[in-house]
Structure 1
Amino acid sequence: MIASINVKSEIGKLTTVILKRPGKEIENITPATMPRLLFDDIPYLPIAQKEHDQFAEILKQNGTEVLYLDDLAAEALKDTNVRQKFLQQMIAESGFKQGKTADALQDYLSGFAPLAMVQHIMEGIRKEELPLKNFDLKNISENNDYPFLMDPMPNLYFTRDPAASIGDGLSINRMTFTARRRESLFMEYIIAHHQRFASQRVRVWRTRNHHTRIEGGDELVLNDHILAIGVSQRTSAEAIQDIAGSLFENASGYDTVIAIKIPNNHAMMHLDTVFTMVNYDQFTVHPAILTKQGQIDSWILHPAKDGISIEHHRDLKQVLKNVLDLDDLDLIPTGNGDPIAAPREQWNDGSNTLAIAPGEVVTYNRNYVSNEILRKHGLKVHEILSSELSRGRGGPRCMSMPLVREDLKK
């Protein structure tokens, strides 16, 4: 039987991936709701879709099976009882645990076919769609003029964050901000009820039912026994210790977790916005996360008799060389380290490269300085159009959730 999940590196040939094509949820952002929905701008949907389609086509042309999140969710919810349970939970997490509004939403959404229902939930449910005059507004907003009962989910095209494949299992993540927290519910139901995954009883290293926060953009699978996880705006140190303990205790094959502390801000929200692995001995790195001496706080976690041992380090390059057993390491600076080009291109995800094979990556075309440097360092670069997708503050790695990669040859 072919494994439904097998990700034991960041760079093994990408075999299967989950994407989410931007939909009407993007058009349901307004200037007033941008902060609430975690956007700095409003992408123009027709162009964003064309750019995303080009991204998917490049992956397909290079041998990757592309699955779409909304299709998988709809297929997982074909059973009426499962679908009703999902709706009840989604409505509750949208602020309506019980009452007339919850009942009206349940009845309304139950009338859609599974795919239309999933897509409509993703797009957001307006008040005007329900035949009610009064709503339980205390559950969603104090503003009577706020148009939505269930907020749109425009961040869904960043499929990397709600869940992350690790080895032959995955984490289903507790997202940091309310705007994104419902997103991982789709993956919870896909893993439990979609035939492709449920038949294999995929292992879940950490569920979404936690108080501490972790997101997939901070989770990097360096090889078949080492992870790097960012301590960031979106992932807490406590969550890293928790998932490390789960991996160590449950025969995952993982015995080393490197926690890397990055600045806690929107420009560098995840580790993969400033640091990605692109080859056996090559990484992209945004220079601003390192001191002039190339230092950054990091901690190495290992299993120990009394739980977990933790060692503090500062020299990231030396840490990576040691744990990966490398004689040398090539850290490729975003924007070639230029004081203007580097922060500009990092803001547009110049460090957020998606490796589709060792030394072969997908990047945004707008980051031309970084792309040229990648090529000078010997990498094969596939560029995708990015005028609108980039407005969401996420690049090719953010927009993809690998399910299967080929194992690296040892």
Structure 2
Amino acid sequence: MANGLYVHSEIGPLKKVLLHRPGEELLNLTPDDLERLLFDDIPFLEVAQAEHDRFAEILREQGVEVLYLEKLTAEALDAVPGAREEFTNQWLDESGLKGKAARAAVKEYMDSIKDTKTFVDKTIAGLRKEEIDLPANSSSLLADLVGSDQDGETDLLIDPMPNTYFTRDPFAVVGKGVNLNRMFSVTRNRETLYGKFIFKYHPDYKDAPLWYRRDSAYHTEGGDVLNLNAHTLAIGISQRTQAGAIDQLAQNMFWEKGDQCEIDTIYAFNIPVSRAFMHLDTVFTQIDVDKFTIHPGIMGTLQVFKLTKGAQQGEVKIEEMNDTLEHVLEKALGLDQVKLIKCGGGDPVAAAREQWNDGSNTLCVAPGKICVYQRNSVTNDVLYKEGLDLLVVPSAELSRGRGGPRCMSMPFAREDL
């Protein structure tokens, strides 16, 4: 565990996890910008932070070391001379900002922030036009500002990254390495920049192998990746992860970096393209050795592709399976039986309502011990009755971002089962 990364399951006792505490990026959300920034509502920041702090506290009470994305990024940028300058230039390249004068003004402003952690927070928060001092008689600068991607329709000069508190998606830890993702939307793909610099420069994580890179041709996101065991991954073919990404990942894991990667089997689940099925972890999450929470809509026959390492160099064998989720998981885990626990307890109205608030999206801290959102009372009652130990997270505001406890966390280390 020299580089600090070690994740071979979804349920092994959690030792180290990465979070991002919601910040001023939520204050730069306006109703007109919600659709572009992938939000349905505007969380109340003060309460969202209090809820998130309680989430972190619950994890610490279970003996989990809590890391923060913004702090690790700052440490990475401070670790190597020139790293912050490199980050700033790439952040500007991907900001949507147009015009040399505007770029120069923003760079001067960002460079003036001396504390690196404060600087990182600002890159996530975004920038309003009013925050930049325009030199007198500088009509070209003003034209540049209005000529940004926002074209004067908003007071934002550079968009915030309000989804950053969902640390599950920009990258995914698999074994001792990382899938550094290319995300589905331009809005969220900017978040992968923080992972790039953490795994490039941070003293504790710079040696972690990359199974996937953010400049790859195909989209993929961490919410579609489940570590079933040390040798087996489940990945969703979804709204956010393309089949081509899984092909590339298999090639990298089995062959390109096969000497470093233990994964030899990938189950690719073809799930519906809809908001309710955004990622595989909104459809099912593992909560015990033989138990999963599921969205009732995934019941029935599924199309699943089993990818394994072939005998010849570069060969990936693909076997199509058409079977139930239950049977596929039993085969993948080598179990005689698994239990699927339905979100909403099978009540279609409760299931739809609580799936909207991520009732199937749970974070397992140890086998049978899971973090759940408080508001999903019907599902939580079913889980209690099934003998699960629930760690209940307050969720009135955090849930407005449409992601649950698993979405808000990226495990860096778990004990073996």
- Report the TM-score when normalising by structure 2: 0.94
The question of whether the paired residues in 2 share the 8 Å contact of 1:285 and 1:333 is answered with yes
- 2:86 corresponds to: 85
- 1:295 corresponds to: 301
Residues matched between the structures, number = 402
Distance 1:327 1:162 in 2: 34
- 1:362 corresponds to: 371
- 1:390 corresponds to: 399
Quote how far apart the aligned CAs of 1:141 are: 2.1
- 1:195 corresponds to: 203
Quote how far apart the aligned CAs of 1:138 are: 4.1
Picking from 205, 220, 225, the partner of 2:231 is 225
**Match runs of 1:281-292 below 5 Å:** 281-290=290-299
Post-superposition Cα deviations, 1:224-280, rounded to whole Å, max 9, x if no partner, equal 000001111111111111112111112211011111122211222111011111111
- 1:124 corresponds to: 126
The question of whether the paired residues in 1 share the 8 Å contact of 2:148 and 2:157 is answered with no
Matched to 1:296, the amino acid is L
Distance 1:279 1:38 in 2: 32
The question of whether the paired residues in 2 share the 8 Å contact of 1:7 and 1:168 is answered with yes
Distance 2:28 2:408 in 1: 19
State the percentage of identical aligned residues: 48
The question of whether the paired residues in 1 share the 8 Å contact of 2:358 and 2:404 is answered with yes
Picking from 310, 313, 324, the partner of 2:318 is 310
Name the SS of the counterpart of 1:35 in structure 2: coil
Post-superposition Cα deviations, 1:192-217, rounded to whole Å, max 9, x if no partner, equal 1111112xx11110010123100000
Q: Which runs of 5+ in 1 are unaligned?
A: none
Name the SS of the counterpart of 1:146 in structure 2: coil
Quote how far apart the aligned CAs of 1:374 are: 1.4
Distance 2:99 2:73 in 1: 24
The question of whether the paired residues in 2 share the 8 Å contact of 1:282 and 1:329 is answered with yes
Give the stretch that moved more between structures: 243-252 or 39-48: 243-252
**Match runs of 1:320-339 below 5 Å:** 320-339=329-348
Matched to 1:110, the amino acid is D
Picking from 390, 401, 407, the partner of 2:410 is 401
Quote how far apart the aligned CAs of 1:327 are: 0.7
Matched to 1:358, the amino acid is P
Post-superposition Cα deviations, 1:340-394, rounded to whole Å, max 9, x if no partner, equal 1111111100000100001110000111111121122221111111100000000
**Match runs of 1:38-117 below 5 Å:** 38-78=38-78, 79-96=80-97, 99-112=100-113, 113-117=115-119
Distance 1:97 1:216 in 2: 30
Quote how far apart the aligned CAs of 1:2 are: 4.1
Distance 1:111 1:76 in 2: 19
1:173 aligns with 2:175: no
Picking from 256, 259, 283, the partner of 2:265 is 256
Name the SS of the counterpart of 1:327 in structure 2: coil
Matched to 2:333, the amino acid is L
1:208 aligns with 2:178: no
Picking from 231, 242, 267, the partner of 1:236 is 242
Name the SS of the counterpart of 1:267 in structure 2: helix
Picking from 140, 163, 166, the partner of 1:158 is 166
The question of whether the paired residues in 2 share the 8 Å contact of 1:101 and 1:135 is answered with yes
The question of whether the paired residues in 2 share the 8 Å contact of 1:92 and 1:98 is answered with no
Quote how far apart the aligned CAs of 1:48 are: 0.6
Distance 2:189 2:264 in 1: 29
Closer, same or farther: CA 97–30 of 1 in aligned 2, 3 Å:
closer
Distance 1:202 1:376 in 2: 41
Post-superposition Cα deviations, 1:25-72, rounded to whole Å, max 9, x if no partner, equal 111111100001000000011111111011000000000000111111
Name the SS of the counterpart of 1:195 in structure 2: coil
Matched to 2:18, the amino acid is I
Matched to 2:177, the amino acid is G
Name the SS of the counterpart of 1:37 in structure 2: coil
Name the SS of the counterpart of 2:204 in structure 1: helix
Closer, same or farther: CA 15–97 of 1 in aligned 2, 3 Å:
farther
Matched to 2:388, the amino acid is L
- Report the TM-score when normalising by structure 1: 0.95
Q: Which runs of 4+ in 1 moved over 6 A?
A: none
Distance 1:230 1:332 in 2: 19
Name the SS of the counterpart of 1:188 in structure 2: helix
Give the stretch that moved more between structures: 27-36 or 314-323: 314-323
Distance 2:99 2:229 in 1: 46
The question of whether the paired residues in 1 share the 8 Å contact of 2:98 and 2:149 is answered with no
Distance 2:229 2:381 in 1: 27
Distance 2:302 2:347 in 1: 19
Quote how far apart the aligned CAs of 1:98 are: 6.5
Distance 2:374 2:291 in 1: 20
